[in-house]
A and B are shown apart, each in its own frame.
Chain A
């Protein structure tokens, strides 16, 4: 499985944008980039996913580098409820197992 690397932790001020980076230099041409997040004492929740083009949804934006070796999850205005561990994961098909790395622990400062 292609692996991803993320910073262990990041901080953001409330109401400011947050850019969470993910490196996946060994990504294959058919791997999708998924982002999930886990709030304290809850199961993970889906945030966004993409293949080549940048993606936007109500929660976040996903910016994918042209060579696809990295991507960035963008939270446009961080709120206290966005404090969570964010996981960047690669999967080829829906049938693939979702394997979690350490993720990035995001703290949001009021």
Chain B
């Protein structure tokens, strides 16, 4: 596709439910990032994939958060036993990659707005 696509755009869940958020990166982008953006704040890093390998998950707030990218393209962020403090916009970004190319710009999706009741 032309850009990073995320679904659903909005998700409402009851506390304790599990949710799954999907990200379709730009075709050919090696790197994929997940960020969490609270209202009125900047995005905060959650985790990073290079192809199918999860190279950094230091930003995941608890073991209730899990991300995967099994085939090196689409990624899913799963939150188990959701809590009210999980309410935020979850942004996905992708980039061409790193290495000899240096830092490549990260392009963001529109995000999933998650509300936990």
Q: Does chain A bind chain B?
A: no
Residues of A within 8 A of B (CB): none
Q: Which B residues contact A (CB, under 8 angstroms)? A: none
